[in-house]
Structure 1
């Protein structure tokens, strides 16, 4: 079993505290710490960091912390504490930024269509505030309008983006390691397993087949930033303190 390294231990402790404490104290930190859409009144720049320590359910935090420990431990042992922390937060913040950019593009695409239909900015904001509309000029499907409302109101939580960065880096350095999913328990080399996972996120992120509120583009963003940093470090033999 992998030894619990220093940085990973403290990251896990912070995640567990911020998962348990609000439930014990009957407090909701979502508006303050989850990552909101930039035009939402609850948005704050600090959320690009804090959303990495918020989780929506026990399975959510369990799988993220397990992935951090399983794939991050050999990386921290190789890079050292400071460089691993830099890598982890870079991947997580990058995931949040790319997730925001994709959402911003999707939101503005619908927003511009509503303007073209003749709605004013105040009318559109009113739709976003109350979550309903009865304007006959809106020639968009209910599904599209629900997406519009969700993009504005649904915050992102979780360390998944950062963990995807860790997963990609693990695959670059330990490409022949065997990995498997719970629902597909067949060991597959990391160099094949990880690209398939990322392609799956890309597919679900670009289609309507996703199940649940999964931030697929945050996963892709974390994987991309993680790949860039890890690839650069590997090419330059940047492996120790």
Structure 2
């Protein structure tokens, strides 16, 4: 699975929380392999999520189960999705909110599994991973995402369509037999989508200014909202065939941010992208 790039934000390094999730999860999996071999599975028994464990007072299990995995393919797929979706989401939300989303979705996913299934034990980061997909679908519903079906056949879907398909599959398979925690997938995905929908509602209403500024940073750089700098105007040089400077008000910039929040970054025209790029540069230089 990989995201089809729509807009280059000019950053290649992993943001800190995403990097921490990857390293901590891989390290925990290594410890799981080592100590399970020494304790005959005692490490997994202690830190995996079990209904009997919660009843016995092992309240850490709804968090620690996210760090354990069944095999290398299990952890590889989960961490690949964290890598693909986590980078943009963390830059939009910030490290604290990103971790709250990831861990919160994982905990809710685990508790959903306890309530709906709870046979044996549950391990894996899939609840948190589906939370990332759910939030991504809420914030960027029309963003194209390309999947490699069976690791061979490329299929491109919009983020919202992908989330709905995954939710439907989890819902159908949740009541069947098998060792996959579909209830955790569904509950985690719904939690992430709800969290994203709430943030989007606040941003559209103007109540969440930090999210609006972060969105501007993802698109073209840090800038302030029109309400904070109502009299500011920005001049930018239009390349190629246009030779005159064009003055753009902060109201226009704010309108473009509203357009992104409603329709996604892909809805911007080439001119609108240049406006945000040059405006953010001018604002940082002031």
Alpha-carbon shift at residue 156 of structure 1 (Å): 0.4
Pick the aligned partner of 1:86 from 92, 95, 100.
100
Matched, 1:49 2:49: no
**Which position in structure 2 is the counterpart of 1:182?**
149
CA contact (8 A) 1:32 1:42 kept: no
Once superposed, what is the RMSD of the aligned Cα atoms? 2.1
C-alpha distance in structure 2 between counterparts of 1:83 and 1:169, whole Å: 12
Matched, 1:70 2:84: yes
Matched, 1:230 2:193: no
C-alpha distance in structure 2 between counterparts of 1:40 and 1:194, whole Å: 30
C-alpha distance in structure 1 between counterparts of 2:181 and 2:148, whole Å: 19
**Which position in structure 2 is the counterpart of 1:136?**
none
Greater gyration radius: 2
Could you say which structure has the higher strand fraction?
2
**Which position in structure 1 is the counterpart of 2:18?**
8
The worse-fitting range, judged by mean Cα deviation, of 18-27 and 74-83 is 18-27
**Which position in structure 1 is the counterpart of 2:165?**
196
The worse-fitting range, judged by mean Cα deviation, of 68-77 and 30-39 is 30-39
Alpha-carbon shift at residue 2 of structure 1 (Å): 5.2
CA contact (8 A) 2:134 2:191 kept: no
C-alpha distance in structure 2 between counterparts of 1:164 and 1:188, whole Å: 16
C-alpha distance in structure 1 between counterparts of 2:66 and 2:58, whole Å: 14
C-alpha distance in structure 2 between counterparts of 1:40 and 1:11, whole Å: 24
Alpha-carbon shift at residue 95 of structure 1 (Å): 0.5
**Which position in structure 2 is the counterpart of 1:207?**
176
CA contact (8 A) 1:37 1:43 kept: no
CA contact (8 A) 1:72 1:167 kept: no
Could you say if the C-alpha distance between residues 39 and 48 of structure 1 is closer, same or farther in structure 2, counting changes exceeding 3 Å? closer
Could you say if the C-alpha distance between residues 4 and 39 of structure 1 is closer, same or farther in structure 2, counting changes exceeding 3 Å? closer
Which has the higher relative contact order, 1 or 2, with Cα contacts under 8 A spaced 6 or more apart?
A: 1
Pick the aligned partner of 1:161 from 127, 135, 156.
127
Per the normalisation by structure 2, the TM-score is 0.62
CA contact (8 A) 1:202 1:216 kept: yes
CA contact (8 A) 1:71 1:170 kept: yes
C-alpha distance in structure 1 between counterparts of 2:86 and 2:54, whole Å: 34
**Which position in structure 2 is the counterpart of 1:111?**
none
Alpha-carbon shift at residue 43 of structure 1 (Å): 6.5
Aligned length: 190
> 5+ unaligned residues in a row in structure 2: which ranges?
1-10, 215-286
**Which position in structure 1 is the counterpart of 2:274?**
none
**Which position in structure 1 is the counterpart of 2:184?**
218
C-alpha distance in structure 1 between counterparts of 2:133 and 2:102, whole Å: 11
